Chains A and B, each alone.
Chain A
Amino acid sequence: SYVLTQPPSVSVAPGQTARISCGGNKFGSKIVHWHQQKPGQAPVLVVYDDSGRPSGIPERFSGSNSGNTATLTISRVEAGDEADYYCLVWDTDSDHWVFGGGTKVTVL
């Protein structure tokens, strides 16, 4: 089955930039979506179609997808951005949705 790899954790100081990577085999053709999940809450979509931003999501959240890696970038990090972040793709070979293992963002 297809595997998406994310770093388990990222630490960042308030006001700085957090970058979370997501990669997999033959990744280049895949379209990536990102979800944020705060403790005790349901996930929330923060980036869709590699770089789209849903209504209500701050401009500080942006996404990119190049080569074998997709990246979620959180600029000017705030304490409220502390959460787990998951990348998600549709694997056409298996007809499965696949989540990355998640990255815990800690604001120092």
Chain B
Amino acid sequence: EVQLVESGGGLVKPGGSLRLSCAASGFTFSNYSMNWVRQAPGKGLEWVASISRRSTYIYYADSMKGRFIISRDNAKKSLFLQMNSLRAEDTAIYYCAREYISTKSYYFDYWGQGILVTVSS
């Protein structure tokens, strides 16, 4: 059974940093690109960042570029998101999502349960 479990969330002051982790199990982690997606309270889904299987290709949403760093450790089957210079508007539930490659395209087929990050003084 595919499982994605996020951790590392919590309360942080504006300007602070936080590192999220996503532990994967039930599949060969190194065969899949991975993503972070967030959802601010009462708002819609917002893609944050994407990392390819061997970390060759990394992409960020414009509002996160330069502040957030996505990384992975295939040996430990883990995905990470280092968040720096945090702002109140970064307050959200953060989800990790697996990216599946089909014959036609690619899409998010599994999601973690999410972890809450609150940025407040």
Q: Which residue numbers of A lie inside 8 Å of B, CB to CB? A: 1, 31, 33, 35, 37, 42-45, 48-49, 52, 54, 84, 86, 88, 90, 95-102
Contacts and interface: CB of A to CB of B under 8 A. Distances in A.
B27 interface: no
Contacts of B113: 42
Interface residues on B, range: 20 to 34
Contact of B111 (A43, A54, A95, A100): A43
Interface of B: 35, 37, 44-47, 50, 59, 61-62, 95, 100, 102, 104-109, 111-114
A98 B35 CA distance: 12
A96 B61 contact: yes
A45 B47 contact: no
A101 B42 CA distance: 12
A48 B107 contact: yes
B102 A99 contact: no
Among B50, B59, B104, B105, the one with the most A-chain Cβ atoms within 10 Å of its Cβ is: B105
Nearest to B57: A95
Given A48-B102, A52-B102, A95 B59 contact: yes
B103 to A, nearest CB: 8
A42 B114 contact: yes
A54 B2 CA distance: 14
B108 A99 contact: no
A49 B113 CA distance: 24
